[in-house]
Amino acid sequence: PEDVINTELQYLIKWKGWSHIHNTWESEQSLKDQKVKGIKKLENFIKKDEDIKYWKEHTTPEDVINTELQYLIKWKGWSHIHNTWESEQSLKDQKVKGIKKLENFIKKDEDIKYWKEHTTPED
């Protein structure tokens, strides 16, 4: 249609050594054309933004088939991207070191639930 306005994605740039009053809106291409230092920062920002969009799109369940309590496990010596969701039984079956920590956590959580259920004020 004739009334469609072409737009381009622009980023608000804070220039090093200049105050915020000198910030400018720039497209990725204009920054590349100017051969500015720090273009890698913009590329990293864009990639991170795309990763967040991908994460949001792919972490919404389509259907829930079964429910089972699972724990998000941070594995010692591994970065957070290697975290996994594991059931208590799965961890026991794998004879995971540190299962005692999980059992203590579960016991503590159960104790808190029990305390909350049995300390409600009476009418």
- Residue spans of alpha helices (H) in 1-123: 28-33, 39-58, 88-93, 99-118
* Closest residue by Cα to residue 9 from 25, 32, 23: 25
Q: pLDDT per position in the chain (123 positions), as tens?
A: 567 677 888 889 898 899 999 999 998 889 889 888 888 888 888 888 777 776 666 666 666 667 777 878 888 888 888 888 888 788 777 777 777 777 777 777 666 665 555 555 554
Question: What's the one-letter identity of residue 107?
Answer: K
What pLDDT shows up at residue 17?
92
User: Alpha-carbon distance 57 to 31, whole Å?
Assistant: 29
Per-residue exposure over 16-37, b if at least 16 CB sit within 10 Å of its own CB, e if not = eeeeeeeeeebeeeebeeeeee
Task: Give the per-residue pLDDT at 123.
Answer: 45
| pTM for this prediction | 0.38
